[in-house]
Amino acid sequence: MQADPPVSHLIRAITKSFLGAGIPSPQTEAEWLLASILQTNRSGLYQQAEPRFSSAQRQMLVEYHTHRLQREPLQYLLGTCAFFGYEFQVSPAVLIPRPETELLVEKVIALLQSKKKATIIDLGTGSGCIAISLARELPTAQVVATDISNAALEIAKHNATVHEVADRIRFLQADMCNASLWRELPQFDCVVSNPPYVLQEERAELQPEVRDYEPAAALYVEGDGLQFYQTITKFCEQHLKCGGYVACEMASQRSAAIAQLFHTSSFTSVEIIRDYSGFDRHVIGQKI
């Protein structure tokens, strides 16, 4: 039987092919792909100089490699994504959680840490990454997680069960723009949202992984891109307690307009937070 090539050889060959396909961070992705197939992590990979692949693993490597060259995100191929130190199941029904969204979660935790039994609503929960991380980090918090997509909510429910917070999260299928669905909801200490915020005309600027594979309903917004922030500020008029916080992710290009909208609504101390690349990414307001 022919021996498998050494790991360093495989990493080099896959990196080269990924580079040729225009995949950003090709070596990191090559290591990640191999590590996942060999059920180890990236540093563990280098301790297996000459790994032995089962035939199923070899087949998986060929299949995932081929799909990745077509720019299908590795997270969808592997079915998982790390967020805030937790592993989340993902599928093409949900947006792949982004590292910059962890900053929003960090900020909300800092604001609510001293509050016993904080109540939180996550509008547009997707995989549940925000709602579930908050429930894990704030052990007395009660969370409502909403999404327009039933398929997304199924994934979020699964993730909540895996992370043992399903008993503190209520999942609700609702269109956040339909105010009649809000009636039954109470007031919350915090409203958090990472709504769709890409304009249709910005579509061409997206990486193929995002443009061709992530769900359109999670990405795009009509018109000037402010629709969801207008909805969220209206929602907060009725459903955010005085002294409570609203925390949203946004497109940096629209940060000034969104901050202005928050200022003219019932929020004081509107704060803009920048992401790791220095772009305005989150807006936090406290209700007067």
- Chain residues that interact with ligand SAM, rule: CB under 6 A: 94-95, 97, 101, 124-127, 129-130, 146-149, 152, 175-177, 194-196, 217-218
In the complex, the smallest distance separating the C-beta of residue 50 from ligand SAM, rounded to whole angstroms, is 39
Which CB, 46 or 276, lies closer to ligand SAM?
276
In the complex, the smallest distance separating the C-beta of residue 81 from ligand SAM, rounded to whole angstroms, is 9
Which CB, 44 or 92, lies closer to ligand SAM?
92
In a 13 Å sphere around the CA of 179, the CA atoms on its Cβ side amount to 10
Which CB, 127 or 265, lies closer to ligand SAM?
127
In the complex, the smallest distance separating the C-beta of residue 203 from ligand SAM, rounded to whole angstroms, is 15
Which CB, 196 or 244, lies closer to ligand SAM?
196
Tell me the C-alpha distance between 212 and 253, whole Å.
22
Which CB, 179 or 288, lies closer to ligand SAM?
179
User: Helix (H, G, I), strand (E, B), or coil: what is residue 281?
Assistant: strand
In the complex, the smallest distance separating the C-beta of residue 145 from ligand SAM, rounded to whole angstroms, is 9
Kindly write down the DSSP assignment for every residue of 241-267, as one continuous string: EEEEEEEEE--GGGHHHHHHHHHHTTE
User: Helix (H, G, I), strand (E, B), or coil: what is residue 92?
Assistant: coil
In the complex, the smallest distance separating the C-beta of residue 174 from ligand SAM, rounded to whole angstroms, is 6
Alpha helices in the chain (DSSP H): 7-20, 26-37, 42-45, 55-69, 74-78, 99-112, 129-137, 150-162, 208-213, 216-219, 227-239, 255-264
Cβ atoms of residues 78 and 36 within 8 Å: yes
Cβ atoms of residues 131 and 158 within 8 Å: no
User: Helix (H, G, I), strand (E, B), or coil: what is residue 19?
Assistant: helix
Number of residues in the chain: 288
Kindly state the tokens that stand for 51.
Answer: 């790994």
Which CB, 60 or 217, lies closer to ligand SAM?
217
In the complex, the smallest distance separating the C-beta of residue 61 from ligand SAM, rounded to whole angstroms, is 28
In the complex, the smallest distance separating the C-beta of residue 217 from ligand SAM, rounded to whole angstroms, is 5
Which CB, 18 or 83, lies closer to ligand SAM?
83
Partners of 188 in the β-ladder:
240
Cβ atoms of residues 124 and 139 within 8 Å: no
